[in-house]
Chains A and B, each alone.
Chain A
Amino acid sequence: MKKLFNFFKNEQEKNPANVAKERLKVIVAHERRQRNQPDYLQDLQRDLMLVIQKYVEIEADNVQVQLDSEGNYSVLELNVTLPN
């Protein structure tokens, strides 16, 4: 029974509409984060990635740069996910 259930579940998860929805969630979340951020952040992110790539193999989406303003100062947050 569980097998049958999983079979249906997998079928559902893989159907084109669900694939579309999952991809969109990621794209949209990413693009919303980039909105209202200064233009140089994207260049900064690329340069940082190129530096890190000298030492570790990473891909573009392993490096996230975000600028948050809190009161009268801003915090530049750098998130790098390294492979194991």
Chain B
Amino acid sequence: MAKIIVVTSGKGGVGKTTTSAAFSMGLAMRGYKTVVIDFDIGLRNLDIVMDCERRVVYDFVNVIQGDANLRQALIKDKRCENLFILAASQTKEKEALTLEGVGAVLNELSQDFDFIICDSPAGIEQGAFTAMYYADEAIIVTNPEVSSVRDSDRMLGILQSKSQRAQEGLDSVKENLLITRYDPDRVAKGEMMSIEDVEDILGVKNIGVIPESESVLKASNQGHPVIMDKNSDAGMAYDDMIARFLGETRPLRFIERKGLLKRIFS
């Protein structure tokens, strides 16, 4: 039985797709059979970040509607044999993601995979709702910024009341806070909220902090999840996050302000 993890936030542009790509690639590189699903119907992006946009023949909605089976729709990653991608549909109506349909697909995937990563769209509509509904765990992607934190809190409320686990009175969805686009210099200057500030308000501990980094743009330009850039700060921070997710203890890195000399010479 696979573990289902939703990568969600409420707000758009905070790093969900970047995280879904890095997280799923990182798990697969460690040997876990992993599938990552794009729930952003109409605005698919994951295929670009994963460099498989030209290989999409059938998508998630095709499978739900019975036009294709999973074997036809799953795209095998060219770099890691344990990783598969299920692309979002570019044209179909958002209502195509029915709870029953999504449930059936996740159930079938559960037989073969260790992890199912659901890349949620922004908002709290159908796509985001179905992405979180079946989750066992959630990665709440949050930028240290007012509107992002507020939306994350909203999303936490939805997970706690509307998810299948909540509705059926099971153990609640495990919440993991991932702070992304963190800029230690701006935190030091008092311009940006700190890790503790965000944890305090949300009442959730972080599972990782991803620094604001040029390597993310570079990675997405090339279609490589940033975790493949093993020398980049963001790539290493994602690797730490995955290690913690799997139960390891690792200290936070890249959260200190750059040293004075580094600041002068960078």
- Identify the A interface with B (CB < 8 A): 12, 15-18, 20-21, 23-25, 27-28, 31-32, 35-36
B31 within 8 A of A: no
CA distance A21 to B192 in the complex (A): 10
Identify B146's interface contact among A12, A23, A32, CB under 8 A.
A23
Chain A facing B: main interface SS? helix
CA distance A25 to B146 in the complex (A): 10
A17 with B150, Cβ < 8 A, contacts A25-B201, A35-B161 known: no
A17-B201 in contact (CB<8A): no
CA distance A70 to B154 in the complex (A): 25
Contacts of A15 in B (CB 8 A): 189-191
B190-A12 in contact (CB<8A): yes
Identify A21's interface contact among B161, B189, B191, B201, CB under 8 A.
B201
Given A16-B192, A28-B201, 17 more A-B residue pairs with CB atoms under 8 Å apart are A15-B189, A15-B191, A17-B192, A17-B194, A20-B146, A20-B193, A20-B197, A21-B197, A21-B200, A24-B146, A25-B201, A27-B150, A28-B149, A31-B153, A31-B154, A35-B161, A36-B161
Chain B facing A: main interface SS? helix
Report 7 cross-chain contacts, Cβ distance below 8 Å, ordered by A residue: A15-B190, A17-B197, A18-B190, A28-B149, A31-B154, A32-B157, A35-B157
B150-A24 in contact (CB<8A): yes
Contacts of B202 in A (CB 8 A): 28
A31 with B150, Cβ < 8 A, contacts A17-B197, A20-B145 known: yes
B48 within 8 A of A: no
CA distance A27 to B153 in the complex (A): 10
> Lowest 6 CB-CB distances: which A-B pairs, in order?
A15-B190, A21-B197, A17-B193, A35-B157, A20-B146, A28-B153
